[in-house]
Amino acid sequence: MSRSSLAQDPGSTAALTVLKRALDLESESRGPQALVCYQEGIDLLLQVLKGTKDETKKRNLRKIISDHMDRAEHLKKRLDQEKEAGKYHKQIKIEENATGFSYESLFQEYLSETVTEVWIEDPYIRHTHQLYNFLRFCEMLVKRPCKVKTIHLLTSLDEGTGKDQHSGLEEIKQSLRNHGVSLELEYSSSIHDREIRFNNGWIIKIGRGLDYFKKPQSRFFPWIL
């Protein structure tokens, strides 16, 4: 049975579409996104294989799965080598008034199931809208398939309204604790750089930190996408 005949099966069509997307992304040098699509497509084909009784179709499916598993493994090794050598670099520029740059869309490709610990360095987690931004980021970590257990935040203390900042962060800390996540807070007067690190090896540098959303006009609408 050929690959074209597989495509006639509804269960296989979705998988082959995802795998084609993975090949396209890899050819565009978008390795992390390609790896996610490879994994998703392979999982879909494995589900099809479990429900297939025709032996010819089984052999064809196993061949396609094996080929793409080899390709995905090769890509993963290359990405790991680039990360270790510090060669992988991706830059995203967010223009003024741009939309569609949610935390989910920016960070999802780096949040694998192996992520259990996150470090955030951002001197401006101070005011109400900035606390809301940090809360949104934490919510994303809790909802993603990763198993985050500890979040470290290094920020600067707001000398003017430090009490509000501290109480807000403590409230977030308690909320995360209810979800089984520990928030470790640390303050520094000398912090300037903004950086997010995941324990799967990814390091993200953000020029404006988490505070790249427009400041809201009302405190009851804490963000505008």
Three-state DSSP class for residue 204: strand
Cα separation, 44 vs 49, whole angstroms: 9
User: Tell me: the pLDDT tens digits for 17-27?
Assistant: 999 999 998 88
Judgement on whether residues 20 and 76 belong to the same structural domain of the protein: yes
The model scores a pTM over 0.95: no
Work out the pLDDT band at 213, boundaries 50, 70, 90. Answer: low
Residues 62-93 as b or e (16 or more Cβ within 10 Å = b): eebbeebeebbeebeeebeeeeeeeebeeeee
DSSP secondary-structure letter at 218?
S
Judgement on whether residues 108 and 198 belong to the same structural domain of the protein: yes
Average pLDDT (76-101) is 64
Average pLDDT (35-57) is 90
User: Tell me: the pLDDT tens digits for 183-206?
Assistant: 999 998 888 778 889 888 778 877
Q: What is the domain-level CATH number for residue 183?
A: 3.30.870.30
Tokens at 116, concatenated: 């259990």
Cα separation, 134 vs 203, whole angstroms: 17
The domain total for the chain is 2
Judgement on whether residues 129 and 165 belong to the same structural domain of the protein: yes
Three-state DSSP class for residue 155: strand
Work out the pLDDT band at 221, boundaries 50, 70, 90. Answer: very low
Q: Report the range of poorest mean pLDDT among 39-43, 92-96, 111-115, 181-185.
A: 92-96
User: Tell me: the pLDDT tens digits for 156-172?
Assistant: 988 776 678 888 999 99
Judgement on whether residues 117 and 193 belong to the same structural domain of the protein: yes
Judgement on whether residues 195 and 139 belong to the same structural domain of the protein: yes
Higher per-residue confidence, 209 vs 20: 20
Q: Where a domain ends, among 37, 56, 85?
A: 85
Cα separation, 122 vs 186, whole angstroms: 11
pLDDT score of 182 more than 90? yes
Judgement on whether residues 81 and 158 belong to the same structural domain of the protein: no
Cα separation, 179 vs 58, whole angstroms: 42
Backbone dihedral angles phi then psi of residue 155, each to the nearest 5 degrees: -140, 180
* Torsional sign, CA 89, 94, 95, 101: positive
Alpha helices in 86-150 (DSSP H): 103-107, 128-143
Domain that holds residue 24: 10-85
Q: Where a domain ends, among 85, 119, 152?
A: 85
Judgement on whether residues 192 and 153 belong to the same structural domain of the protein: yes
Place of tokens 């520029």: 93
